[in-house]
A and B are shown apart, each in its own frame.
Chain A
Amino acid sequence: MSTLIKRAAPGFALATVTLGAVWMFDPALNAQPEPLASAGDASATGSASASDTGTSDTGTSDPGASDSGSSTAGQSTGSDCSTAQTATGDAAYTQWGPVQVEMAVTGDGTICSVEAIAYPDNDTHSARINSYAIPQLNSMAASKGVSFQAISGATYTSEAYRESMQSVLDRL
């Protein structure tokens, strides 16, 4: 079972379509406009607390601690997006169509904006995620100014998007 699952992970993909998840990881991001939760999508939005009481931690769910983070992990030093260059990622293919991103990235890998210039939008799932995701990510990336060098994720659509984004990072 687990092996079959793993084989479905990026790189050995057979994938299914997925529904929207509308939860922002970082409480500080809740100041951003809420994504549009589609009707019928049982999403937890914004600063909703995690429902479990066992292992959830403050990094994921404390709505009041947005500017007093307990984490010691590296704070962003920010980066000047006025120096960002726009680059188009490679097209990556899913069973619903090609995915291709255009990103504005600074020399140190800070993503200032990301836009899907090709994304499947003719089925229910894709139409839904298109409705909120791009503005959300744009505002998040620009406001955080956190650079990163690689992307981890699951599911086939993610894989294609990740692949296209990574291709831009790889060209820095």
Chain B
Amino acid sequence: MTQRWSWPVMGSAASLAIPGSAGSANVHESIERVRAWLAEVEQRFSPFLADSEVCRAWTGTLRADEPSPLMLEVAAAVEHLEAMTDGAFHPADRRGRFDPTGYVKGWAIQRAVELLVHDGIEDACLGIGGDIQTIGRAGPDRTGADQPWRIAVVDPADARRIVAIVAAQGSGPLAVATSGNAQRGEHIWGPRSWQQALRETTIPEPRRELPPAQLRGSSCVTVVGPELRLADAYATAIWAGWLAGSLDQAWGWLGGTGYEALAVDGSGMLRATSGMADLVVRAAA
């Protein structure tokens, strides 16, 4: 029997599933460690909390024992990723301030799963905001057959449609991260801000202006591989590179990394790297 937990964190919701854990005495202590870890990461790295270490770095008010070892670890990782992706992964915000958000969430989720493994939990699936790390197996289905973890990837234009389901291979780790558009088209779609939208009680008239054709519609890049900290960063980098140029260029460096990607463009066309087919669950004939 799979136990599941869900709680709010990082402006989204964490979903954790652990098969076969019902009889385990220490699982709840492990869950508490995971929750505490994720809360610590949010407190330390959130660009939205004024007293986070990231925000204090911006204002030059770091404490004597900072930057912390965790911050330095993250900084080293994002520097490496920026170099590896030729700058497509760029850990800075609009104003050029250090902002490792594009790495931190995936890293934090992966670390959380590693905490579980350290506690002897062999099977788990943890996701926050659509970025997911699994380890081990999903457990038996109702026929008793042991099942791999399977993750559905939804259409960026319409989350009610599933474009692919990817499955973990064997009992190894599976990470699935998706980056998609949002910010890019925002100014094109008119002045309506999120804050304004929150105050609106009625939906306004449909806007007549459309963005340029190449920006019309939604696009996303999903990256699949063993480690979420990398899958998450790679998805961000590929999507950013795709916006700036061609998809072939944007994911050209992915070959040989052990990671695969699929992309949906603004017209709904789906493309994938050559190894993705082995990870996708095919419908039964």
- Residues on A facing B (Cβ under 8 Å): 1-26, 28-29, 41-44, 48, 50-52, 54-61, 66-80, 95-97, 101, 106-108, 114, 116, 120, 122-124, 129, 133-134, 136-137, 140-141, 143-163, 165-167, 169-172
Contact = CB atoms under 8 A, between A and B. Distances in A.
21 contacts: A1-B240, A11-B130, A12-B10, A12-B101, A19-B216, A21-B155, A22-B268, A23-B270, A52-B248, A60-B276, A71-B280, A73-B280, A76-B281, A95-B192, A106-B142, A137-B160, A148-B152, A151-B151, A154-B130, A155-B157, A158-B130
Contact of B102 (A7, A15, A95, A107): A7
A70 B280 CA distance: 10
Interface in B44-95: 47-48, 88-94
A141 B142 CA distance: 18
Given A4-B183, A75-B281, A133-B160, A161 B217 contact: no
B21 interface: no
A19 B207 CA distance: 13
Interface stretch (B29-37, B110-118, B171-179): B171-179
A170 B158 contact: no
Contacts of B281: 71, 73-76, 146
Interface residues of B, number: 118
A96 B274 CA distance: 37
Nearest to A55: B273
Given A16-B188, A74-B147, 13 more contacts: A9-B236, A12-B10, A18-B181, A23-B163, A25-B162, A50-B270, A51-B269, A67-B285, A71-B278, A73-B280, A95-B192, A141-B162, A144-B284
